Structure 1
């Protein structure tokens, strides 16, 4: 080993060169760093109403058996979901969060120099996970008015990329793709291309639109998988559980060959089962987020910081200045938002829709930060 390279070439150099994923800042770190008891954490898109009250008793109930390994086949949760989704249970694959599933999928299907196509700005792990596999990412920007660039996507699909990832509602923008545009995209995809529909925020879509993309995806002739999570609308981010719905059981079986044998913990399974049974809580979360999102978006527009249209539990807005600078000013006031660092979008930030008090604190701190610039 040397001082300049303590690993002495042990780790692949292209992996060491990767950018770190910006996962937000922990409340504990911020309280310690700022000396504040109350920190407003609006940088990770967590559920403003927390999880269902049914979750804690369900987790407590499995504690006596915590010395045993969890149910590797996730039987109860699998049965509930497959019935509602209209697919056989063997097409479901559960992992420690939907981003874990992205990592697993990309390791499974990508070869060096394969191409992944996605729309940007985008969830950063798509590109990072592609780089893990020595694949390349082709990033197609949204239109200036925040619509999916359908013509450019169709053109890119003609090149038969190995993977096309579409997130709807899109993280970080929040916009959803129209059903007719999604239909065009699927019709343009070659059978060699795996379509990945990331629906991490799908539960926040309004009733008349929710589930329509998945129903269309089920009729797609090529390989596909839809990704979902219990971290957002179900409020279980700390438990780490998500799942994929595959076009065929063979893909789900392959995922279980690659993921660790007991990938989802017993508390996570119990929590997810309880949360899924409480759809009233999910509906209450969706209604609350919709009202508060509209209110916060209006306040941002009044401040001259227009947000993109959003169906998620967050807003992506134009700061009119380097977002890192504005986010740092808010941080000093104990308010955390996520400044976007992706090339071309450095003047944008994403803010989670929190509870009413947290949203008010964010808007007050933002006004103070802007007023401070004018002085």
Structure 2
């Protein structure tokens, strides 16, 4: 319960599409993912030449740093945040400027804007945010789009997009389209579509020129034929997606309620995990759970013993986790 994977396999039709694609693995895949991109364009309203694919959204996070950063530049990212942000920035020889998230776990847009300098070339913003689950509202996104300087690239990370929309979050693309400077919004098939092992994600960009920049630096055939077939088929399995989203919301609530009863402080989450501030050292609790073969992610949280991020699993996973943590806490 520490990697934010789907607890359920892909829809049967997706597995069948993968099996059919496997029969042709002697041939290279479509490097551009034309069929997948055409369907994404139809569903999002974005122009096909504004959309890029990648081996998970991780490839596109690295690409944003490659496109925008040189030594001596600065990049702003939320803290705590997805580790790839800091990694990509430092690998380019740029300075990582961390901005603490709000107490409710949402990315602090006002503080992010204040952290921007003339040396800033890249800003990462995530919603729902990992590892807290915090969801940006429309006013936050509008402020970001309106006030963020045009000289930098905005990477709007929506790896948990489907969960955020299910929780009532705004559709970001019409808001991002108002930005004058360059932007990319990245989304993943790893979480809500249950394709973490296939590694496929995509980005919607502000212009064909920016999309071309991502395409120019992509590794050849980085998204394999089986992954492309899976992603395309998954888009047609709306019922499977809806069931997963409903299940996640219900089990997320059960986890939060059970942990609250034990003295933990859940942060509001719109993702497929729950993050709680712990009453005892988070690493100690995580170690106790590990001894029971249950894995969660501990991380620091300011002026507290720490926090735990717990992925939503099956109902049985929730039951096992709550029983184990009651034992670890001596309850």
TM range (shorter): over 0.9
- Residue 368 of structure 1 aligns with which residue? 327
CA distance in 2, matches of 1:90, 1:346: 48
CA distance in 1 between partners of 2:167 and 2:262 (Å): 31
Match of 2:317 in 1: 358
Displacement of 1:290 after TM fit?
0.6
Q: Do residues 94 (structure 1) and 53 (structure 2) align? A: yes
Q: 1:216 to 1:299 in 2, by over 3 A?
A: same
Partner of 1:126: 85
Structure 2 segments unaligned to the other structure (5+ residues)? none
- Equivalent residue, structure 1, for 2:121: 162
How big is the shift at 1:352? 0.2
CA 185–129 in structure 1, closer or farther in 2 if over 3 Å, else same: same
- Residue 160 of structure 1 contacts residue 192 of structure 1 at CA under 8 Å; is this kept in 2? no
Aligned to 1:327: 286
Q: Which residue of 2 aligns with 1:246?
A: 205
Shift of 1:160: 5.8
SS at match of 2:40: helix
CA distance in 2, matches of 1:245, 1:212: 13
Alignment match of 1:223 (pick from 182, 192, 195): 182
Match of 1:268 among 219, 227, 237: 227
Q: How far apart are 1:211 and its partner, in Å?
A: 4.9
Deviations 1:264-312 (A, max 9, x none): 0000001111111111111111111011111110111111011110000
Q: Deviations over 1:35-60 (max 9, x none)?
A: xxxxxxx0000112222121111011
Specify the alignment match of 1:57 in structure 2.
16
Alignment map for 1:285-324 (pairs within 5 Å): 285-324=244-283
Considering only CA atoms, is the larger Rg found in Structure 1 or Structure 2? 1
Deviations 1:55-101 (A, max 9, x none): 11101111221100001121111110001111111111111000111
TM superposition shift of 1:207: 4.4
2: CA distance, partners of 1:270 / 1:169: 27
Task: Provide the rounded CA distance (Å) in 2 between the counterparts of 1:200 and 1:77.
Answer: 17
1: CA distance, partners of 2:104 / 2:202: 32
Contact persistence 1:202–1:211 (CA under 8 A): no
Q: CA deviation at 1:341?
A: 5.0
Conserved? CA contact 1:157–1:188, under 8 Å: no
- 8 Å contact from structure 1 (residues 292, 356) kept in 2: yes
Moved more, 47-56 or 255-264: 47-56
Cα 1:312/1:161, change in 2 over 3 Å: same
Could you tell me how far apart the structure 2 residues matched to 1:342 and 1:253 are?
A: 39
2-side partners of 1:241 and 1:147: how far apart? 26
Which residue is equivalent to 1:195? 154
Secondary structure at the aligned position of 1:54 is classed as helix
Q: CA RMSD in A?
A: 1.7
* Mapping for residues 110-121 of structure 1, pairs under 5 Å: 110-121=69-80
Deviations along 1:300-343, one digit per CA (max 9) or x if unpaired, are: 11110111100000011112222221111101101011111588
What SS does the corresponding residue of 1:81 show, helix, strand or coil? helix
Provide Cα deviations, 1:112-139, integer angstroms capped at 9, x if missing partner: 1211112221101100110100111111
Q: Secondary structure at the match of 1:140?
A: strand
Q: Distance in 2 between matches of 1:67 and 1:207?
A: 39
TM-score norm. by structure 1 comes to 0.84
After the TM superposition, which segments of 4 or more aligned residues of structure 1 sit over 6 Å from their partners? Answer: 342-346
Question: In 2 relative to 1, CA 136–344 (structure 1 residues): closer, same or farther, beyond 3 Å?
Answer: farther
SS of the equivalent of 1:303 reads coil
Q: Mark the runs of 5 or more structure 1 residues left unpaired by the alignment.
A: 1-41
Report if the CA contact (8 A) 1:160-1:193 is conserved: no
Q: Secondary structure at the match of 1:284?
A: helix
CA distance in 2, matches of 1:345, 1:113: 34
